[in-house]
Amino acid sequence: MGFPELGWGVTQGDDLADAVKWAGRLLHDLMAHLIENNETLPSAKVRGRRMRAVAFGPLEQAKVECYAALRALGKRLVVAVENAV
């Protein structure tokens, strides 16, 4: 499983449920990397029959939305914690 919108990162699992679990962890790490490097976050897209949506938990979603809102205002986020997402 991968994230075409990000252009990099791939994972797999023993079955579909395991692959989705690992994809969620990969998405967490990829978004943390983007936030730590003050990069633009891609829009979420689900395309085609073989694509699966991977969602964040409420805390991670709030962090991503906060970061996106700050970037929209032209503010730069200074990450002061070890894990940004």
Q: What is the pLDDT of residues 38-48, one digit of tens each?
A: 888 887 776 67
Q: Residue written as tokens 């070890």?
A: 82
pLDDT above 60 for 59:
yes
Q: How far apart are CA 47 and CA 29, in angstroms?
A: 22
Would you say 19 and 42 are in contact if contact means Cβ atoms under 8 Å apart?
no
Q: How far apart are CA 81 and CA 85, in angstroms?
A: 9
Exposed (0-12), middle (13-18) or buried (19+): which is 42, by Cβ within 10 Å? middle
Would you say 70 and 77 are in contact if contact means Cβ atoms under 8 Å apart?
yes
Indicate the pTM of the whole model: 0.71
